[in-house]
């Protein structure tokens, strides 16, 4: 495996990175009919490495704990794509997530990588609409200024909503 086969999974603490990882693994193994109850998760300290097999190709997802934000850049040179997760039910965290995203997008080693931004927890009762979040994030400005191709999806790692689209995106950017 070359180090360039790694997709980084980034986002603030508590946005749902670990649950997303577990759900994607289960989807790859069993298909969407078998998701079941969400497993319990703990905040990640350090990193989690998980392999997914998509169209007979292995994709390695490296989840970096949200508390590791200051050292995320040391992992940037080793990846070909980034999945950045935002908790769309946590309005207090939106601005700090936006700042984190901007620092990720402006990092030199990531200038050419594909980026997937996931607005997670879309199953929660008190979420903002996608229009509101995009406005708060100034998403149009970010996309216009970014050097990377950016895709945005709404998901719920808890219910499985949108996870098939995440797998499709991962398949579409697998290094040939």
pLDDT at 33: 63
pLDDT at 149: 95
pLDDT 10s digits, 139-154: 999 999 999 999 999 9
Report the 3 state secondary structure along 26-45. HHHHHCHHHCCCCCCCCCCC
Per the DSSP assignment, residues forming a β-bridge with 81 are 7, 114
pTM: 0.92
pLDDT at 1: 41
Residues of the chain with confidence (pLDDT) below 50: 1-4
């Amino acid at each position: 495996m070359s180090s360039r086969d790694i997709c980084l999974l980034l986002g603030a603490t508590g946005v749902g990175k670990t649950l997303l990882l577990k759900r994607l693994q289960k989807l790859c193994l069993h298909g969407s009919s078998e998701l079941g109850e969400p497993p319990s998760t703990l905040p990640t300290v350090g990193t989690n490495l998980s392999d997914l097999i998509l169209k007979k190709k292995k994709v390695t997802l490296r989840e970096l704990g949200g508390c590791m934000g200051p050292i995320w850049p040391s992992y940037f040179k080793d990846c070909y794509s980034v999945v950045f997760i935002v908790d769309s039910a946590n309005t207090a965290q939106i601005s700090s997530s936006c700042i984190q995203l901007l620092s990720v997008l402006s990092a030199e080693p990531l200038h050419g990588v594909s980026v997937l931004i996931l607005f997670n927890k879309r199953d929660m009762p008190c979420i903002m609409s996608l229009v509101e979040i995009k406005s708060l994030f100034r998403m149009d400005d970010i996309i216009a200024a970014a050097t990377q191709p950016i895709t945005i999806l709404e998901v719920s790692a808890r219910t499985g909503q949108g996870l098939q689209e995440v797998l499709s995106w991962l398949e579409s950017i697998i290094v040939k």
